[in-house]
């Protein structure tokens, strides 16, 4: 019989161990605080959707849909997909719940797991978490700038350094088709010098040529026509105003004419926020994208809704954590334990269980090691937690209905009635 392999988590999907939960918690708390401030409401969509939501939304010719989706047929015959990104699901929910009839714009945020069948490497996983912000029903450029500001502020509040914002405009239905044609013609005349993937892109998704990383394509890229020079008046004015807003709120940015992003629904402004990271063991720095997004004025209509302008973005939580760790950003543990409950013997243990619950009701944080019998081990734990008082319930105290309160600062002890213990401690903590 073949040797049984050890069971492991699926490739590219990891456990979030307790030691990493504090990062998730911190990022969530900061995102939530900023969301509340700017009036965003939380939404959770299912982690699976009809595959069609992504085929039509993200785009059938994108890598995400063509190569990276976890799709499956249910027992009832529906074809579903684990969500590779959040925006099409949010647009589907906007249509399904008739949100167009609510006061506009609808400002939503989310925080949850996403799935892409990618080749796993540092910062690229098959299950990863994103936090995202979406504004639906608002056409004005102020929203573009505000979302970029929100992302920038979340990263700043997390104390991340060395961030850069890159921006581009990829036009709308008026100017994008013309630019596409221009680029297609340009590339067709140089087809034999392109990498095989870009030769395919000419037919399927020509704008993706602009973010090709193959060396072969770089000189052709430098000479290629640039979209910013071919925007229609409306897109030009929109983009100019976004830049003016960003200048006003002092968000540093760089224009990147090659930024097109890998999803089909974008119109007008697109952005990415990145930071630099040292390649493991190589000492060389490279930039890694922490988040990105843009305007998607046609997505809701594409999915069957009304013409609804929208703008949004998402950031990768694991990537933020990776940067926080590399930049040695400490997270203060806010949970302060004030009291430790130590016990010796079965009767004391039983009484302590009840006492613990009384402290919970009194909202006083308490540490314990009920699994340990040795007083020394329990006192060591109390020391580690840095508590102000340790309550010791030995066999004698358990019989007498008393408890010893030890002040951990000066070692002074006093004996109080068990039923008064919570009240006594509360008074002592106030001093």
Rounded to a whole number of angstroms, the minimum distance from the CB of residue 304 to ligand HAM is 19
- The residue ranges of DSSP E strands in 303-427, in sequence order, are 310-316, 339-343, 366-368, 389-393, 402-407, 413-417
The verdict on 66 binding ligand HAM (CB under 6 A) reads no
Cα 395 vs. chain centroid, distance in angstroms? 51
What is the distance between the alpha carbons of residues 66 and 55, in angstroms, rounded to a whole number?
A: 9
Pairing of strands 127-136, 163-169: unpaired
Site map (CB under 6 A) of ligand HAM, residues 164-193, x = contact: ------------------------------
Subset of residues 72 to 101 that bind ligand HAM, contact rule: CB under 6 A:
85-87
Nearer to ligand HAM, 269 or 343 (CB): 269
The verdict on 292 binding ligand HAM (CB under 6 A) reads yes
The verdict on 313 binding ligand HAM (CB under 6 A) reads yes
What is the distance between the alpha carbons of residues 395 and 123, in angstroms, rounded to a whole number?
A: 54
Rounded to a whole number of angstroms, the minimum distance from the CB of residue 211 to ligand HAM is 11
Give the containing element (helix H, strand E) for 380: helix 375-385
Q: Which stretch binds ligand HAM (CB under 6 A): 205-213, 223-231, 292-300, 421-429?
A: 292-300
Contact with ligand HAM (CB under 6 A): which of 54, 110, 128, 209? 128
CA angle 89, 179, 261 (to 5 degrees): 35
Q: Nearest residue by C-beta to ligand HAM?
A: 316
Cα 102 vs. chain centroid, distance in angstroms? 27
Nearer to ligand HAM, 90 or 366 (CB): 90
Contact with ligand HAM (CB under 6 A): which of 59, 293, 309, 367? 293
- Beta-carbon contacts of 338 under 8 Å, excluding residues fewer than 6 positions away, are 364, 365, 366, 387, 388, 389, 425, 429
Contact with ligand HAM (CB under 6 A): which of 315, 321, 382, 391? 315
Contact with ligand HAM (CB under 6 A): which of 51, 55, 63, 134? 134
What is the distance between the alpha carbons of residues 401 and 46, in angstroms, rounded to a whole number?
A: 53
Q: Which stretch binds ligand HAM (CB under 6 A): 74-82, 164-172, 309-317, 321-329?
A: 309-317
| Closest CA relative to residue 157, chosen from 320, 21, 289 | 320
What is the distance between the alpha carbons of residues 232 and 209, in angstroms, rounded to a whole number?
A: 21
Nearer to ligand HAM, 106 or 421 (CB): 106
Contact with ligand HAM (CB under 6 A): which of 52, 214, 289, 424? 289
C-alpha torsion 79→83→84→90, nearest 10: 120
Contact with ligand HAM (CB under 6 A): which of 105, 171, 305, 312? 312
Rounded to a whole number of angstroms, the minimum distance from the CB of residue 428 to ligand HAM is 48
What is the distance between the alpha carbons of residues 50 and 74, in angstroms, rounded to a whole number?
A: 11
DSSP, res 124: B
Q: Which stretch binds ligand HAM (CB under 6 A): 70-78, 135-143, 275-283, 291-299?
A: 291-299
Count of positions on this chain that bind ligand HAM (CB under 6 A): 26
What is the distance between the alpha carbons of residues 106 and 125, in angstroms, rounded to a whole number?
A: 31
Q: What are phi and psi of 315, to 5 degrees?
A: -125, 150
Site map (CB under 6 A) of ligand HAM, residues 248-287, x = contact: ----------------------------------------
Structure tokens at 77: 């015959």
List of residues contacting ligand HAM (CB under 6 A) = 85-87, 116, 118, 123-125, 128, 130, 132, 134, 289-294, 296, 312-316, 318-319
């Amino acid at each position: 019989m073949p040797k049984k392999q050890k069971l492991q988590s699926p490739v590219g999907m990891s456990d979030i161990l307790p030691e990493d939960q504090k990062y998730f918690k911190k990022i969530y708390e900061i995102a939530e605080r900023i969301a509340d401030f700017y009036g965003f409401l939380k939404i959770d969509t299912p982690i699976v959707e009809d595959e069609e939501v992504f085929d039509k939304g993200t785009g059938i010719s994108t890598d995400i849909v063509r190569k990276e989706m976890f799709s499956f047929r249910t027992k009832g015959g529906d074809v579903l997909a684990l969500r590779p990104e959040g925006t099409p699901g949010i647009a589907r929910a906007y249509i399904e719940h008739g949100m167009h009839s609510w006061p506009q714009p609808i400002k939503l945020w989310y925080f949850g797991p996403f799935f892409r069948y990618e080749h796993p490497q540092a910062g690229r996983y098959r299950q990863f978490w994103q936090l995202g912000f979406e504004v639906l029903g608002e056409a004005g450029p102020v929203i573009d700038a505000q979302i970029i500001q929100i992302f920038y502020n979340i990263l700043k509040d997390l104390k991340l350094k060395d961030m850069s914002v890159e921006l581009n405009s990829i036009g709308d239905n008026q100017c994008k088709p013309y630019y596409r044609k221009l680029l297609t013609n340009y590339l067709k005349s140089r087809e034999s010098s392109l990498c095989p993937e870009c030769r395919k892109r000419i037919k399927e998704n020509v704008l993706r040529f602009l973010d090709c990383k193959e060396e072969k394509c770089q000189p052709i890229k430098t000479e290629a026509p640039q979209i910013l020079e071919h925007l229609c008046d409306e897109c030009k004015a929109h983009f100019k105003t976004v830049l003016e807003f960003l200048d006003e709120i002092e968000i540093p940015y760089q224009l990147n004419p090659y930024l097109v992003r890998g999803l089909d629904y974008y119109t007008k402004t697109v952005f990415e926020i990145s930071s630099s990271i040292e390649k493991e063991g190589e000492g060389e720095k490279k930039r890694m994208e922490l988040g990105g997004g843009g305007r998607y004025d046609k997505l809701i209509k594409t999915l069957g809704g009304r013409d609804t302008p929208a703008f949004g973005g998402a950031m990768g939580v694991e990537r933020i954590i990776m940067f926080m760790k590399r930049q040695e950003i400490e997270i203060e543990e806010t949970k302060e334990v004030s009291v430790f409950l130590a016990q010796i013997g079965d009767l004391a243990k039983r009484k302590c269980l009840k006492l613990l619950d009384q402290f919970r009701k009194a909202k006083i944080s308490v540490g314990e090691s009920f699994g340990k019998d040795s007083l020394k081990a329990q006192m060591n734990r109390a020391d580690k937690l840095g508590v102000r008082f340790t309550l010791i319930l030995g066999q004698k105290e358990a019989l007498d209905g008393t408890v010893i309160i030890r002040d951990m600062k000066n070692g002074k002890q006093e004996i109080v009635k068990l039923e008064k213990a919570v009240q006594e401690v509360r008074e002592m903590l106030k001093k």
